[in-house]
Homo-oligomer: A and B are copies of this chain.
Amino acid sequence: MPVVLHALGDPVRLELVRRMAADGECACSPEGLDVPRSTLSNHWRILREAGLTDTRADGKARIMSLRRGPVEAEFPGLLAAVLGDGEGRAGA
């Protein structure tokens, strides 16, 4: 639990999670985030190591998605509360 909360406890990482939740997936360097690529890579690493993301390759690019199902199973209601959408279970 603290590992996941720490992973979510950063404004950039929270935004990445919100984008994955809203769009289904998120590219490594999404539009509109004024953050250096190396810093973004570090954020993605923290999310990945906390078990929050899956990664697929699209050519040279990496596309991340939120592991809603496993996270919801392990921490019921957490994503819904964090995303503030009351629909944390959608697509789980």
Task: Kindly identify, within residues 7 to 24 of chain A, every residue whose CB is under 8 Å from any CB belonging to chain B.
Answer: 7-11, 13-14
- Chain B proximity mask over A59-92: 1 for CB below 8 Å, otherwise 0: 0000000000000000111101110100000000
For the complex formed, measure the closest distance between the CB of A6 and the CB atoms of chain B, giving whole angstroms: 3
A33 contacts the other chain (Cβ, under 8 Å)? no
For the complex formed, measure the closest distance between the CB of A12 and the CB atoms of chain B, giving whole angstroms: 9
Copies of this chain, whole number:
2
Instruction: Please report whether the interface of chain A is mostly helix, strand, loop or mixed according to DSSP.
Output: helix
A46 to B59, CA, bound (A): 43
- Chain B proximity mask over A1-44: 1 for CB below 8 Å, otherwise 0: 11111111111011000000000000000000000000000000
B10 pairs with A8, CB closer than 8 A: no
